[in-house]
Each structure stands twice: as C-alpha cells, then as structure tokens.
Structure 1
Amino acid sequence: MPLITSEQATEAALRQDGIIPDIIDSFHPKTTLVISYGNDGEVALGNTLPVKGTQHAPQVSFQPDSPTDKYTLIMTDPDAPSRNDPKFREYRHWIVSNIAGSSDFQPSALSQGTIVTDYMGPAPPTGTGPHRYVFLLYKQTPSSNVAALSTPLTTDRGGFKAKQFTQNAQLELVGANYFFAENR
C-alpha cells in the first residue's frame, strides 16, 4: 500500500473541492497552514465551521523555511454570491503581507505584518449553499513587488483574483487550507 504524504493529501483535497483550478493552479505545498478559530474550530481541509464562530480573525501558524523570510496570507471566497453563480469570484476577505517567519512552529506575527485588506468574516447569503473559504500562504521572493504588498486595497472586495494579484506581486504559493460555511 503506497504511503500518502500530507502534501499529496492537501493537493487532493484542493482538487476534490475545485479550489484547483477555481482559484489556484496545481502546486506542491511546502508547509502546513494551521488556521484556528479557537473554541469555534480549526480549519481542516474542507471541514464545516459555523459562520458565527468565524467572525474574528483566526490564529495562523506555519513552519517557515527561514526566520528571515517574509510571507503573505490571503483569505478568499470563490463562491460569491453562490457556487452556482460565482459572478463576484473571488470575494477578498483578508490579506496580510510582510509576515515575518520564525524559527519554530509558532503563531505567526500577523499583527506585525502589513494589513492590505482588513479581516471580514464569512457572510454567505442565506440559501446560497456552502461557500469555500480559502486561506493561501505565499512566500515573498527577492523579486516580490513590495509596493503592491504594502498598499491597502481600496477596490471592491468582489471580483478579486488571487492568482493575478500574486503573479503581479511575484509571490510563491507554499501552503493552503480551507473550510466551508453556510447560512441556511
């Protein structure tokens, strides 16, 4: 029986729920992205969390390559206003850039990063089915566009394209995680 790595399990889950190709291309995860809403639950590759319990920014942890590396975290909803009618794909919920790495697996210093878009908790319209809330972690490279990562986005949150934003900023995708939430 072949052994399945956590990287393979992550990519398989992302494909199964359409995150690959709806938001990102295939990639090889380099870190485990741990997202916790405290007592309201931990994000676990497609589990369901209550909308009410996800209204405050979560705790985020990951294992960086080096303590000197910088990272960007994006939270996006590709199902706005619904998965059957995603005319506002993607809805930008949160972007924090210039997150410093640390030497061990500890909560990252998001508060010391640059807030590009303030956190907005999930608010799927009633009756639109489950929405995917996707967290993407990118490593900033030596050629990253620091200006793009340091300027707050003031445009509408709907119609955001993580793939385009990260290509323009020259970022490398290193981790992903997601959950479902729904207002019935």
Structure 2
Amino acid sequence: MPLLTNDKAAEIALKQDGIVPDVLDSFHGSTMLVVSYGANKDVSLGNTLSVSETQHPPQVSFLSDSPSSKYTLIMCDPDAPSRKDPRMREYRHWVVTNISPGAGDLQPANISHGNTLSSYMGPAPPAGSGPHRYVFLLYKQSNHSNASVLTTPLGSSHAGFKAKQFSAQAGLELVGANYFFAENK
C-alpha cells in the first residue's frame, strides 16, 4: 500500500471538493498548512466550522524550507453568493504578503509583521445559500516576485478576486492549501 502524505491527502481532498478546478488548476503542495481558530477549531481539509467561531483571524503555521523565506497567504470563498450560483467567485476574505515563517517547525507564522493587502473578513454566507468552501492558499515568494503587487493594498471590491491571476502577477509559487466549510442556515 502506498504511503499517503499530507500533501497527497490535500491534493485528493481539494479535487474531491472541487477546489481544483474552481480555484486552482492543480495542486502539488510542498508544505503542510495548519490553520486554527482556537481549541478544537482547526481547519482540516473540508471539515465544518461555524460562522460564529471563524469571525477573528486564525493562527497560521506551516513548515518553511528557510527562516529567511517570505510567504503570501490568501483566504477566499469560491461559492459566493452560493455554490449553485458562484457569480462572485472568488470572494476575497484575506490577503497578507511578506509573511515570515515561525521560529521552528509548525510554529505560528508572523502574520502581524506581514503586509496586509486585504484585512481579515470572517465568513458571512447568505442565509440558506448552503455550505461555502473557505480556502486558504499559501504561496512562497522568491527573489523574482513582483514587489509592487505584494505591497499594494487591494481595492474595496472583494467579489471576483482570482488567486491564480494574483499569484501569477506577483510571481508566487503555491506550496500549501487547506479549507473548511461554513454555512448560515
């Protein structure tokens, strides 16, 4: 039986729940992305969290290949206003660039020291619109990344954001992903 790694599990889950192809063309991650809203409220590849427990920015941890590397984190909702009618896909909930990894394996990242291009906005799916997928994408920046894209605040319109386009313009490499479901019944 082949070994199932965290990255392979993420790849399978992202395809199973349609994040590939709705948000990503493909996924072949190289790091584990841990997102936690507090005790027993970890984001875990498609688990369900309540809207009320996800209104404040989560703690984010990941494995980095170097303490000097910089990262970009994006959170989006590809199901706005609903999965059946995603005309506002991808609704941007959070974008932070120039994030330093935590000091040591899976220690919280230094998000507060990064550049916040779009402040955290907790899930707020319309009542009765069904479960929404809230996707976290972690990108590694390089020496060739476009600094102006990574430091320019994003506009006030959150609807129609495209993580693929943003990451291509910025010269980013996708290294991790995670997601959860939330619903407003």
Q: What TM-score range do you get, normalising by the shorter chain?
A: over 0.9
Query: Which residue does 2:116 correspond to in 1?
Result: 115
Instruction: State the 1:2 CA deviation.
Output: 2.2
Mapped partners of 1:71, 1:3: distance in 2: 28
- Structure 1 counterpart of 2:124, which letter? A
SS of structure 2 residue aligned to 1:38: coil
Q: Which runs of 5+ in 1 are unaligned?
A: none
Q: Which runs of 5+ in 2 are unaligned?
A: none
Q: Residues 106-131 of structure 1, C-alpha deviation per residue, up to 9 Å, x if partnerless?
A: 10000000000000000000000000
- Structure 1 counterpart of 2:169, which letter? N
Query: Which residue does 2:173 correspond to in 1?
Result: 172
TM-score after normalising by structure 2: 0.97
Query: Which residue does 2:130 correspond to in 1?
Result: 129
Mapped partners of 1:40, 1:160: distance in 2: 30
- Structure 1 counterpart of 2:9, which letter? A
Q: Confirm or deny that 1:8 pairs with 2:18.
A: no
Instruction: State the 1:103 CA deviation.
Output: 4.7
Query: Which residue does 2:53 correspond to in 1?
Result: 53
SS of structure 1 residue aligned to 2:135: strand
Mapped partners of 2:17, 2:47: distance in 1: 11
Instruction: State the 1:155 CA deviation.
Output: 3.9
Mapped partners of 2:30, 2:2: distance in 1: 21
Indicate the larger mover: 18-27 or 164-173: 18-27
SS of structure 2 residue aligned to 1:8: helix
- Structure 2 counterpart of 1:126, which letter? A
Query: Which residue does 2:23 correspond to in 1?
Result: 23
Instruction: State the 1:154 CA deviation.
Output: 1.5
Q: Is the 8 A contact 1:22 1:78 kept in 2?
A: yes
Indicate the larger mover: 120-129 or 102-111: 102-111
Q: State the percentage of identical aligned residues.
A: 64
Q: Residues 95-149 of structure 1, C-alpha deviation per residue, up to 9 Å, x if partnerless?
A: 0000013451210000000000000000000000000000000000111111111
CA RMSD between the two structures: 1.0
Instruction: State the 1:47 CA deviation.
Output: 0.1
Q: How does 1:37-76 map to 2 (within 5 A)?
A: 37-39=37-39, 41-76=41-76
TM-score after normalising by structure 1: 0.97
Q: How does 1:125-164 map to 2 (within 5 A)?
A: 125-164=126-165
Q: Is the 8 A contact 1:93 1:157 kept in 2?
A: yes
Q: Confirm or deny that 1:90 pairs with 2:90.
A: yes
Instruction: State the 1:4 CA deviation.
Output: 1.5
